[in-house]
Amino acid sequence: MNQPVEYSCDVLVIGSGAAGLSLALKLAQHCQVVVISKSKMSEGSTKYAQGGIAAVFDEEDSIASHVQDTMLAGAGICDQDIVEFTAQNAKDCMNWLIDTGVDFDEETDAQGGTRYHLTREGGHSHRRILHAADATGKAVQYTLSEAVQAHPNITLMEGFNAIDLITSQNNSKQCLGCYVWNRKIEQVEVIRSRFVTLATGGASKVYQYTSNPDIASGDGIAMAWRAGCRVANMEFNQFHPTCLYHPQAKNFLITEALRGEGAYLCHADGSRFMHKFDERLELAPRDIVARAIDYEMKRLGADCMFLDISHKPAEFVIKHFPNIYKKCRSLGIDITRDPIPVVPAAHYSCGGVMTDKNAKTDLDNVYAIGEVAYTGLHGANRMASNSLLECVVFAHAAAKDILSRLNEEVSNEPIRAWDESRVSDSDEEVVIQHNWHELRLFMWDYVGIVRTNKRLERAMHRIELLKQEVQEYYAHFRVSNNLLELRNLLTVAELIVRCAMERKESRGLHYNLDYPDQLAESGPTVLSPTIVSKTHPKTH
């Protein structure tokens, strides 16, 4: 049993997307910040966000309209106070991004001057989406990354998996820091911190088909749950309606902005079908569009549906969607002439770790921002382009709260040692790979776009069996990236299924054939953990 290497800082940020990097930059003038990422700093969901960020910049638009659209998209269970807070702070946060260097697209106004080009996406009643062509997330990630790397008070540690939050033996609500696995040397280390922020993104890797990068394994949600935090609304997982269907196009999204600019969904013969499902046609919220595509695929036995923008001028299409045009062209699809084959894919977790308006969790000094968090903004369905907005708004809110607490007394309690004296290197990696594939397959089949009570029961039965196998494996072998992610995904899968079982209705992203109607009154699904032991199985 060896005392692990120990680092220390004022604020530990776990995750390096828009949420984590925004927080780090807001804090770094006043304290020492460490940002850790499992892979390269840029390899998170932010980089792949195509559409844009919602904020009221148009004089004909209003914050009240943004709030109303969000509430409607959330199917009646958004927290109105949080929605108003987010919309009210949207423009200031976007101006902060602009000041930091994000180059949003501009256009010439009627007077010959310039203004930001605003597009429209599903669920929005006005054009209010700031964007950088069709690669907004990439522009945001690049700008924030450059600023973080240039800041002397921010230490970036790439290639570190967060394993578990370290809670005090004297006060279970107090976090001392985090155990991390240094991937470069395959060794467990400790980061002691006065404040910890989870900015780990979502958990869509729990599904067989997802638009998310490989790192989206629900780590922050699982760690927070094990440490005693409540989670909420995990049954609401958004399936992006239009992921490019092609054997060589892994995880490539076709942005909703395409539909915002007039693209329509159709069958292989060119006939449209959205009129059968919603009067808003292709601009209906994502859950409706995803279910419509899923329904038509199953009804016809088709591998995919199609998205067609070829009726628009080629110059317009190439100018506004250069990355999609280039990607599709590389696969032999000319989107100025041909329809795009698309399928739904798991895309966004609308639930997560419960937080307040300051992004604070149930632990006294732990915050959660971005997709890992349940703030109440999204309700039963996320409205397009509110996601990056939520990252920045709540990063600013968390920074303000943390800065107000920097003078609080710090615990000097010793960190429990990490004990690997009774474990060995794995000699059966195939066990992890088999369980990994099994989990993602049955979650897709049983807990996907459409659910039933029987499917949920079957999924829970399989989760219980896999949990036993993985826990035994975890207790006997040294940790690895795949083992840590599988352990976390099993926790997340259980939370998704438990929340889905609790909801006796169909609402937003959760559709259960046994409960097809909405209840007259409803609210968030909240799960509270029972902590059996505060001692980690590999600590002493």
Give me the mean pLDDT over the 185-189 stretch.
93
Catalytic choice (128, 194, 286, 451): 286
**Angle, helix 429-446 to helix 481-502, in steps of 10 degrees:** 20
Q: Is 138 helix (H, G, I), strand (E, B) or coil?
A: helix
Q: 336 near 318, Cβ under 8 Å? A: yes
Look up residue 372 and give its DSSP letter.
G
198 in Cβ contact with 35 (< 8 Å): no
Would the pLDDT of 1 be above 70?
A: no
CA angle 98, 377, 209 (to 5 degrees): 90
For residue 428, what pLDDT band results from cuts at 50, 70 and 90?
Answer: low
Q: HEC states along 224-283?
A: HHHHCCCEECCCCEEEEEEEECCCCCCCCECCCHHHHCCCEEECCCCCECHHHCCCCHHH
Mean pLDDT, range 379-387, rounded to an integer: 91
Can you tell me the mean pLDDT for 123-148? 92
- pLDDT, one tens digit per residue, over 496-538 is 999 999 999 999 999 999 999 999 999 999 999 975 444 455 6
**Is there a catalytic annotation at residue 286?**
yes
Q: pLDDT value at position 536?
A: 53
Q: For residue 429, what pLDDT band results from cuts at 50, 70 and 90?
A: confident
Q: What was the pLDDT predicted at 489?
A: 96
Q: With bands split at pLDDT 50, 70 and 90, how would you rate the model's confidence at 539? A: low
Q: What percent of the chain has pLDDT over 70?
A: 96
Rounded alpha-carbon distances, angstroms, from residue 57 to 122, 139, 354, 529, 532:
18, 19, 30, 42, 50
Mean pLDDT over 429-453 rounds to: 90
Q: Is 531 helix (H, G, I), strand (E, B) or coil?
A: coil
**pTM of the shown model:** 0.89
Whether pLDDT at 387 is above 70 = yes
Report the C-alpha gap between 306 and 34 in whole angstroms.
45
For 78-114, the pLDDT digits (tens) are 999 999 999 999 999 999 999 999 999 988 887 888 8
Q: How far apart are CA 65 and CA 24, in angstroms?
A: 31
Residue-wise pLDDT tens digits, 341-363: 999 999 889 999 999 999 999 99
Give residue 409's Cα distance to chain centre.
33
Q: Where are the domains of the chain?
A: 1-47+139-236+350-518+530-540, 242-346
The rounded distance, in Å, linking the Cα atoms of 538 and 250 is 36
Percent of the chain with pLDDT over 90: 75
pLDDT of residue 151: 97
Q: What average pLDDT score do residues 219-243 get?
A: 96
What end-to-end distance do the CA atoms of the chain give, in Å? 9
pLDDT digits (tens, 9 = 90+) for 56-76: 999 999 999 999 999 999 999
Please report the DSSP string for 461-525 in residue order. Answer: HHHHHHHHHHHHHHHHB---HHHHHHHHHHHHHHHHHHHHHH--S-BTTB-BTTB-SPPSS----
DSSP 3: P
Q: Is the pLDDT of residue 218 over 90?
A: yes
Class of domain 242-346: alpha beta
Q: Do 495 and 368 contact (CB within 8 A), yes or no?
A: no
- Relative orientation angle of helices 80-100 and 136-150, to the nearest 10 degrees: 70
CB 259 within 8 A of CB 283: yes
Cα–Cα distance measured from residue 13 to residue 457, given in angstroms and rounded to the nearest whole number: 36
What is 1-47+139-236+350-518+530-540's CATH superfamily? FAD/NAD(P)-binding domain (3.50.50.60)
